[in-house]
Chains A and B, each alone.
Chain A
Amino acid sequence: MNLDLLQKKLLAAARAHPPTDHVPVAFEKRILANLPTRLAADVSALWARALWRAVIPCVAVTIVLAALSFVPTNDSSSDEDLSQAFEQTLLASANQLEDSP
């Protein structure tokens, strides 16, 4: 069977029978009746969608930070520096009080 011709004939058949553009009676009323409720429902849907989208970046950032916290640092003195700096900052006000006459 000639498939090319069959295909052409069938496509011509589809072109020859365009669908009707009939609109059911008072269809616009049905649409209008549905508009406000759908809009109200969509606010929560938008929030839900945004929160779900935020899940992946949040998890990714958590994993990266967790991985970084486990990475050993080469400079062993950095921990001491950090603790000293932290202590100085914390006790800065006490030191000022001691120094003041």
Chain B
Amino acid sequence: MSFRATSAPSLSEAVAFAIVAKKTSAILPRMERTEAELIAAAVNGDPASFEPLIQKYSPRVFATARRYARLEREVEDIVQEIWIKAYQKIASFRGDAPFEHWLMRLAVRTCYDFLRGHQRNRESAFSEISEEEDNWLERFAAAPEATNEHAEAAKQLIQRILDQMSPAGRLIITLLEIEDRPVKEIAVLTGWSVPLVKVRAFRARAEMRKILARITQTKYL
């Protein structure tokens, strides 16, 4: 083994080394470029410069998309749509705010479009409530304060309720109540005015209450 390591490299090893060196020299300058440079290159029509941006921000975009879509296939389609829109609209990025903010605005609006597009597919029957969710509701009815909100059944139940809500209602509840974002930030993310966000938040809470009332009426009255 030691003899082989110190001996002259074979032709195939030399070719492999040359390929690796070439790839490294091509990738390294791209990685070292700043975000502004990468964006400028993308504006000039270089799709490859978009790759580091996709790698950097995709986790955040995936986490956002998973708030609104359950199936992984749908999540991937949403994220792909977000990145394609980002590439197409990159020229409109002025650079006066961080790229991440601009991207998240795009992500939230694309998720909202997805919700509106799949409005008809929303679940309509509560008969599909699982046994675990049913048990969790029974435990809540018996001892409301003692019920564990960290239970998997509670997570599934809130997901089911969100699936029942209107697109605007679901978006507002997610951003305002679950992600704890301020109203002004939601207005920027959604493109709605602050009063409209407040009105929609009020309606969304009422909508959620109505769904909860329907569940509890059919199950416990």
Contact = CB atoms under 8 A, between A and B. Distances in A.
Nearest to B64: A19
Nearest to A46: B88
A23 B58 contact: yes
A14 B178 CA distance: 6
Contacts of A15: 178, 180
A5 to B, nearest CB: 5
A1 interface: yes
A7 to B, nearest CB: 6
A24 B78 CA distance: 13
Given A2-B144, A3-B216, A7-B212, A39 B88 contact: yes
A36 B87 CA distance: 10
Given A21-B63, A36-B47, A9 B147 contact: yes
A24 B66 CA distance: 13
Main DSSP-derived SS at the A contact region: helix
Contact of A21 (B60, B158, B178): B60
A16 interface: yes
A12 B149 contact: yes
A28 B87 CA distance: 13
Contacts of A21: 59-60, 62-63
Interface string A20-38: 1111100110111011101
Interface residues of A, number: 33
B165 interface: no
A36 B50 CA distance: 12
Nearest to B178: A14
Interface residues of B, number: 46
Interface in B148-168: 149-151, 154-155, 157-159, 161-162
A32 B47 contact: yes
Contacts of B79: 27
Contacts of A36: 47
B63 A35 contact: no
20 contacts: A3-B212, A6-B140, A7-B212, A11-B173, A13-B149, A13-B151, A13-B154, A13-B155, A14-B155, A14-B162, A14-B178, A19-B63, A21-B60, A22-B62, A28-B54, A30-B80, A31-B50, A32-B51, A32-B54, A38-B88
B209 A7 contact: yes
A18 B63 CA distance: 8
A6 to B, nearest CB: 6
Interface in B13-72: 47-48, 50-51, 54-55, 58-60, 62-63, 66-67
**Highest count of chain B CB atoms <10 Å: which of A1, A3, A30:** A1
A20 B66 contact: yes
Contacts of A31: 50, 54, 80, 83-84
Contact of A7 (B54, B145, B180, B208): B208
